[in-house]
Amino acid sequence: MEVANRYITIKTQVDGEPKESDFELKTSALSLSLDSGSNDMIVKNLYVSIDPYQINRMKSHSSSQKAIGFAAAITPGEAIDAYGVAKVVASANPEFEKDDLVVGLITWGDYSLLKGGNYMLRKFDPMGFPLSYQVGILGFSGLTAYGGFFKVCKPKKGEKVFVSAASGSVGNLVGQYAKLFGCYVVGCAGSKEKVALLKEKLGFDDAFNYKEESDLKSALKRYFPDGIDIYFDNVGAEMLEAAVANMNTFGRVAVCGVISEYTDAAKRAAPDMLDVVYKRITIQGFLAADHMNVFSDFISTTTDHLRTGKLYAIEDVSNGLESFPSAFIGLFRGHNTGKKIVKVADE
């Protein structure tokens, strides 16, 4: 048996802001008969995580990633790989059976052919939650927020926390975890609606629209008259500079991502290092993968809070394979609210 497998590729490397014409929908025939003993597997993709960092894998040059061999470059013409939820349709791997639900590295396509058995994929128990949660609040977005906040920021109750891109997939969770932990939390986002979501639904103490602020340093001074203890940075550039200027002694900056710099190689944060010295500020980059040791804590804490209604999963789902490019491009234009997901197919 054979199926037509549609998938999304980049036509060539993408430098700068991604646009629709950078992407292409291709179709190829995919045989569902697998050689026994190959350990190959074919899964039907259901929910796929749409993440800003993927733009760095699409660039013609990205020294950071080459240096560490992390998240290799995406090859033009091939299906883009991404984290997602899928269902096994054919398996030559004895550990997986047809209809198993799996989460891990799949593709921007209808199906993913996983070869050889070394694929990064595991079975999971939905625990009564929607399958999409596996790519967001119970997946790497959640772990990034949890590990980044608790392990990198090392919060104390009552500390003052600032989150940028606070309505984004990670930011909204950082703010929610910080509130549940007992911190004072202010977030910034890019629209009135997002600001309202943070304040009214997610319980942030305050929030503001950074697009309405001509001087970010003064804005932060207004929202944090007593200074910032923790800054969870998702954006970089001027916001990082403004946060450092408003930080308290022994303040901590967790650098989770720098989305404002991803599509503009010339854009950089130049925080005042005199502040860093005199206020003994720590600026630390991290990846969710560094915090796998807290994965079970993260899952039990997060599912408890979800069940008691103390934590909200904010999802922004686009439907259908054709929506991958616009879903991805929208990340860099601030179109998403919460976790951006493409739903490829029904279970």
Binding site for a second copy (CB under 8 A): 56, 62-65, 67-68, 70, 227, 236, 240, 245, 249, 255-258, 261-262, 268-287, 290
Nearer to a second copy, 83 or 262 (CB): 262
Furthest C-alpha separation in the chain:
68
Q: What is the 3-state secondary structure (H, E, C) of 261-273?
A: HHCCCCCCCCCCH
Residue 144 or residue 318: which is nearer to a second copy going by CB?
Answer: 144
Is the CA virtual torsion 13, 17, 22, 26 positive or negative? positive
| Least CB distance to a second copy at residue 246 (A) | 9
Nearer to a second copy, 262 or 324 (CB): 262
Residue 63, burial from CB neighbour count under 10 angstroms (0-12, 13-18, 19+): exposed
**Least distance CB 161 / a second copy (angstroms):** 19
Contact present, 322 and 25 (Cβ < 8 Å)? yes
**In the complex, least distance from residue 207 CB atom to a second copy, rounded to whole angstroms:** 23
Nearer to a second copy, 4 or 270 (CB): 270
Shortest spacing between CB 23 and a second copy, in angstroms: 23
Fill in the amino acid letter for 161. Answer: V
φ and ψ at 15, to 5 degrees? Answer: -115, 135
Nearer Cβ to a second copy, position 9 or 164?
Answer: 164
Nearest distance, CB of residue 218 and a second copy, angstroms? 13
In this structure, what are the phi and psi dihedrals at residue 242, rounded to the nearest 5 degrees? -65, -35
